[in-house]
Amino acid sequence: MLRGDVLTTATADPTTTTVARDFTDFRTVVSHSFVPLHVTSEHRDHFRGRIRSCGADDVQLTEVTASAHVVERTPELIARADRHYYKLSLILAGTGLLVQDNREAMLRPGDVALYDTHRPYSLAFEEDFRTLVVMFPQRLIDLPRDLVGQLTAVPMSGKRGMGNVVVPFLAQLGSNLDQLGGPAGVRLAHTAVDLLATLFASELDLARATAGPHHELMRRVLAYIDTNLSSTDLGPAQIAAEHYISTRHLHGLFHEQGTTVSSWIRTRRLEHCRRELLDPVHASRPVAAIAAKWGFVDAPHFSRVFKTEFGCSPSELRRGLTVSDRLLPPSA
């Protein structure tokens, strides 16, 4: 399908490929593929760009191959959005300079870096390049935003430590984007995000010497909560007792992260329920059974809080699996 100078393929392949032969059209496609961005280039007359993407649930992987250009997420563009996403770029060829939160990350092939779409950033490519971008809602990461915020515009190598495990997986998934549109797509997407969360946790542990004094305690508390989400007794008193601290101290830890103990537990339980409702493996399992597995013993209450969180009921989510939640909304 050809529109202006943009060629978009529409085949049985679940991926979408757009080839832009004009900078103006590339600029438009970029904003629709991710979040609204300000795009500039000194090579407009001879610009070439190709974007190939596929998504599952609210996770989207996009391979971008293009001429040199700069993208900026400005405060004005951020003000139009009400959904919070993380983006992670894996440089496959060329180099890129990411700037966010007063940090700069020079990225070379094999490097990855995280950035937050709800805060200003810029990403500059001074030569032809190829990159894989993973974009996903911040709620999918089981780490507080303030902690993850320590990693924005921090280069992470794919050649050592946890990066040597995670980056090859992302690269292989990027080479097989069509798999995200298949029966295992949701599981693959969530596996990618879980691996990224593991990478972030590993990087934060390496930096714990310079982290806040409550970093290690918070890490243990969050791990305990995730391990015990199915327990109906899970609450501030039990968590505080297990870690030999007062409930006041516990509430203070979560307040530092901009949340509460109860909100964190509820969010993590709802996310696990959402994953299982989307997973074809659990298609025959009653909604109430999935809710109970993750600590929601009152089915009507579960349906209410689920709809408040995700904008649809658990049953509606299941029915819409084949027609929605495949691609991220362009207005995010």
pLDDT per residue over 161-188, tens digit each?
A: 999 999 999 999 999 999 998 888 888 9
pLDDT surpasses 70 at 328: no
**Residue range 26-46: mean pLDDT, rounded:** 89
Q: How far apart are alpha carbons 281 and 116 in whole angstroms?
A: 32
Mean of pLDDT over the chain: 87
Count CB neighbours of 3 within 10 A. 9
* The pLDDT of residue 44: 86
- Per-residue model confidence (pLDDT) at position 294: 94
pLDDT of amino acid 211: 52
Average pLDDT over residues 213-236: 87
CATH of segment(s) 213-325: 1.10.10.60
For residue 286, report the phi and psi dihedrals to the nearest 5 degrees: -60, 145
Residue 29 neighbours by CB under 8 Å, 6+ apart: 6, 18, 20, 49, 51
Mean pLDDT in residue range 123-135 = 96
Chosen CATH of 16-210 out of 3.40.47.10, 2.60.120.10, 1.20.1260.10, 3.90.550.10: 2.60.120.10
Global confidence as pTM: 0.77
Per-residue pLDDT averaged across 156-163, rounded? 92
pLDDT at 330: 42
Question: 9 pLDDT exceeds 70?
Answer: no
- pLDDT of residue 11 exceeding 90, the answer is no
The residue ranges of every structural domain in the chain are 16-210, 213-325
Distance of alpha carbon 229 from alpha carbon 69, whole angstroms: 45
Element (H, E) at 115: strand 111-116
pLDDT-derived band of residue 142, with 50, 70 and 90 as boundaries? Answer: confident
Q: Is residue 212 pLDDT above 60, yes or no?
A: no
Structure-model confidence comparison of residues 131 and 218, the more confident one: 131
What's the pLDDT score for residue 258? 82
Of 214 and 226, which is predicted with more confidence? 226
Q: Does the pLDDT value for residue 323 go beyond 60?
A: no
Give the per-residue pLDDT at 208: 58
pLDDT tens digits, one per residue of 37-90 = 999 998 888 899 999 999 988 899 999 999 999 999 999 999 988 788 999 999
- How does residue 281 score in pLDDT terms, banded at 50, 70 and 90? confident
- The yes-or-no verdict on residue 156 having pLDDT over 70 is yes
State the Cα angle at 140 between 212 and 289, rounded to 5°: 120
| Half-sphere CA count of 81, side-chain side, radius 13 A | 25
- State the average pLDDT over residues 190-214: 78
